[in-house]
Structure 1
Amino acid sequence: MKSKPNPARLDAWDFRILSEIQSDGRISKSELAKRVHLSASACSERLRALEIAGIIEGFYARLSPVLIGGMVFVMVEVVLERHRLEDQRHFETAIGEFPEILDCWAIGGRIDYLMRVASPSMAAYQGFMEGLLQAGLGIDQYYSLVVTKPIKSNSPIPLSALRRR
């Protein structure tokens, strides 16, 4: 069995593969091999190793919220009542159960977490947040920042910057 790639040991071929699949996740393995100038078997082997190592976390389709019926996106700053490790773990585990929470990041500074929430309307968002407050997650305060217009999202990781380190 092959060992998992170490991120510090990714080579130029790995970066080429990662760059191509970030641009086009639906690319066929044969086309990917052509674009990165590797044989199909070598390219496929490297791709599999990158997946096994967890460097490639998955493939998905990006949907247009406008064309599927419109969505409201809200960035939510969350401050917990208590800052004990068990309180943080409880919150982090529990929010995984809410599909409306698209992303959640632990933040250093004046807030504890930053979440990106999707909702069909502001009224539905408010109802969701009221339910979240009643769910016993230890939320002390939250601040809502309504996304009025997406400017840039789901951008690929700038791999060229990593290669220069």
Structure 2
Amino acid sequence: MKSTPDAAHLDAWDIRILSEIQSDGRISKSELAKRVHLSASACSERLRVLQATGVIEGFYARLSPALIGGIVSIMVEVVLDRHRLEDQRHFEAAVKEIPEILDCWAIGGRIDYLMRVSSPSMAAYQEFMEGLLQAGLGIDQYYSLVVTKPVKANSPIPLSSLKRR
């Protein structure tokens, strides 16, 4: 088996394994092997390589915000006041350390970053954003988009379109 799979080198077995674990991250290795029609040892080795090479970034539990209670999701568009590389690096390093910021993407276009923020309330969110503005992160403008209901979230990556070898 190859030692460093990438998108161009994922074969049909790798794609089957990835499809299965995307839909059930808690599947046992023996059940996974059965579902993809590989021996347990071959399947375990492929899974190990997919993890070691970073194709599989990790496993986590998806929580229900509605059942946890009092969670507000906000998409925040951010425009920096300066666009030097050092300013971007400073902002990105700070964002990585802030737990309320669940996701952050650098964006090309009219904004610089799109963040997904979790907050216990709108009042707490406003306080959070005031703190961000005072933290010296170089935020010039921000626009808040409140998520009123999830329509589709945490979907698996569609692997069926990958070229199978």
Q: What TM bracket, shorter-length normalisation?
A: over 0.9
Q: CA deviation at 1:109?
A: 0.2
Q: Quote the RMSD (CA, aligned, Å).
A: 1.3
Partner-residue secondary structure (3-state), 1:141 = strand
Q: CA deviation at 1:162?
A: 2.1
Q: Distance in 2 between matches of 1:70 and 1:55?
A: 34
Q: Distance in 1 between matches of 2:6 and 2:104?
A: 26
Partner of 2:64: 64
Task: Give the TM-score taking structure 1 as reference length.
Answer: 0.97
Deviations 1:60-108 (A, max 9, x none): 0000011112300000000000000000000000011110000000000
Q: Distance in 2 between matches of 1:12 and 1:96?
A: 35
Q: Distance in 2 between matches of 1:29 and 1:78?
A: 42
Partner-residue secondary structure (3-state), 1:125 = helix
1:8-157 mapped onto 2 (5 Å cutoff): 8-157=8-157
How many residues are aligned here? Answer: 164
Q: Distance in 1 between matches of 2:70 and 2:121?
A: 9
Alignment-mate amino acid for residue 112 of structure 2: D
Q: Distance in 1 between matches of 2:124 and 2:162?
A: 41
Q: Distance in 2 between matches of 1:71 and 1:157?
A: 26
Q: Which runs of 5+ in 2 are unaligned?
A: none
Q: Distance in 2 between matches of 1:103 and 1:81?
A: 21
Higher relative contact order (CA 8 A, sep 6+): 2
Q: Which runs of 5+ in 1 are unaligned?
A: none
Q: Is the 8 A contact 2:74 2:146 kept in 1?
A: yes
Partner-residue secondary structure (3-state), 2:74 = strand
Q: Is the 8 A contact 2:6 2:55 kept in 1?
A: no
Deviations 1:102-147 (A, max 9, x none): 0000000000000000000000000000000000000000000000
Q: CA deviation at 1:4?
A: 1.6
Q: Is the 8 A contact 2:71 2:118 kept in 1?
A: yes
